[in-house]
Amino acid sequence: MSATSPVLHCNFNYPVRYRLGAGRASELASLALERGMKRPLIVTDRGIMTLDWFERLVRTLEEAGLEPVVFGSVRPNPLAEDVDAGLQLYRGEECHGVILIGGGSAIDVGKCVALLAHNDGSVFDYEDVGDNYKRADAAKIAPMIALPTTSGTGSEVGRASVIINEHHEKKIIFHPQMQPPDVIADPELTIGLPPHLTAYTGVDAYVHCFEAYCAQGYHPMADGIALEGMRLIKDYLPQAVACGTDIQARTHMILASSMGATAFQKGLGVVHAISHAIGGKLNGHHGLLNAILLPYCMVFNRVAIDERCTVIARHLGLVDPSFNSLLEWTLTLRRDLGVPHTLQAIKGMSEDNAREFAPLALGDAALSGNPRQANAHDLEEIMRSALAGRLLM
């Protein structure tokens, strides 16, 4: 194989055991047997359950002598009730592990079910505050295998989940061992994703890389992963949207998504803080929110990220490696992919909501990584700018 040939099949042991390549979902049964999952709980959503490949995948597990139990009631923005229902089924059916199949929502719920399978308490007892994670016995977390079906959140390699509480607030649930130890990243499972969702989730992956690279702190390994993730997304997201059956583009995008989630162990920032606040209250699509908010947050953070954006622009091969050039490229990419320019695209979003949501964004854990300090007024103004389509340079 030449140095320029696309790498479509490979195995990694970083950050988890990672099997990448078209057709590799066929390895699920043997891997589940190897991990002792005689009776696995499959956590997914209703949409995936209707797909032909899902039925075939369940059948291959049964033919291998496994007894899979399917939980397919995960909402697009998952609630604690989703976790509770999955947990009740896991315990009632005496399952032996969790197979997570879906986008970020299904994977997030599945990780929480695994966390709580044999640990006490509710999901919010493990919110990412202080040392809450120490309440869980890591040895009691159920074994997991993750199969992502979107190229966005990268939750399959993450150590956290995002779950909405009774106040419609998104909370980050964390444990170092919530990270699924095995991932099968088969791009064929992403082919059915519509172009607009391919675009929204793809820009979400880019935002993960971008915010991680710009986040406070010293983490050269995360920085390197973030930079290369952004390059892969620049090169392959437009093609994945234009031609959803392009396996090469889908392969690079599913890997770039995992790279974003690996990199943001360094931190995130104001994009995610605001996105979590709006998404929890208005049930907005997380990837779409991140895609809309990115340029407005770039402008707010400019004083702290100007040099970093120059490095990003250079790595992406932009003719003029500068903040302005990167911002213009970002705006062009969003427009070409059909991403709305303003928060008017989010049903129910208004200026009154901007005032209401600012304190929620201020309290979001993601804001701690932002390279520029922000107060509630700053966050409200970012949302107002994003509603009006104003980029205040």
Q: Residue 132: its pLDDT value, please?
A: 94
Q: What is the mean pLDDT of residues 194-203?
A: 96
Q: Is the pLDDT of residue 261 over 90?
A: yes
Q: What is the mean pLDDT of residues 130-157?
A: 95
Closest by Cα among 364, 360, 358, 346 to 382: 358
Q: What is the mean pLDDT of residues 57-74?
A: 96
Q: Which domains does the chain have, with CATH numbers?
A: 10-190 (3.40.50.1970), 195-388 (1.20.1090.10)
The structure tokens listed for 367 are 């804001």
Q: Residue 9: its pLDDT value, please?
A: 79
Rounded-to-integer distance, Cα 354 and Cα 332, Å? 26
Q: H or E element: which one contains 321?
A: none
Q: Residue 227: its pLDDT value, please?
A: 98
Instruction: Determine the Cα angle at 371 with ends 367 and 374, to 5°.
Output: 55
Q: Residue 277: its pLDDT value, please?
A: 97
Confidence category of residue 94, pLDDT binned at 50, 70, 90: very high
Q: Is the pLDDT of residue 2 over 50?
A: no
Q: Residue 14: its pLDDT value, please?
A: 77
3-state secondary structure of 116: helix
Closest by Cα among 109, 140, 121 to 42: 109
Closest by Cα among 101, 102, 103, 124 to 112: 124
Burial of residue 304 (number of CB atoms within 10 Å: 0-12, 13-18, 19+): middle
Contact 70, 135 (CB under 8 A): no
φ and ψ at 264, to 5 degrees?
-80, 10
Confidence category of residue 239, pLDDT binned at 50, 70, 90: very high
Q: Is the pLDDT of residue 6 over 60?
A: no
- What tens digit of pLDDT does each residue of 352-380 get? 999 999 999 999 999 999 999 999 999 99
The structure tokens listed for 334 are 């969003």
**pLDDT, the chain, mean:** 94
pTM for this model (two decimals):
0.93
Characterise 20 by phi-psi region: left (phi > 0), alpha (psi -120 to 50), beta (else).
beta
Q: What is the mean pLDDT of residues 140-144?
A: 97
User: Measuring CA to CA, how many Å separate 123 from each of 82, 106, 168?
Assistant: 11, 15, 15
Give the orientation angle of helix 323-337 with respect to helix 220-242, to 10 degrees: 30
Other CB atoms within 10 Å distance of the CB of residue 318: 16
- What tens digit of pLDDT does each residue of 293-351 get? 999 999 999 999 999 999 999 999 999 999 999 999 999 999 999 999 999 999 999 99
Closest by Cα among 259, 238, 261, 267 to 250: 238
Instruction: Determine the Cα angle at 174 with ends 210 and 260, to 5°.
Output: 20
Name the percent of the chain lying above pLDDT 90.
94
Other CB atoms within 10 Å distance of the CB of residue 35: 17
- What tens digit of pLDDT does each residue of 266-290 get? 999 999 999 999 999 999 999 999 9
Q: Is the pLDDT of residue 210 over 70?
A: yes
Instruction: Determine the Cα angle at 106 with ends 102 and 112, to 5°.
Output: 140
User: Measuring CA to CA, how many Å separate 98 from each of 59, 359, 380?
Assistant: 17, 36, 40
User: Measuring CA to CA, how many Å separate 81 from each of 140, 165, 167?
Assistant: 22, 9, 13
Closest by Cα among 163, 49, 187 to 113: 163
Q: Residue 3: its pLDDT value, please?
A: 47
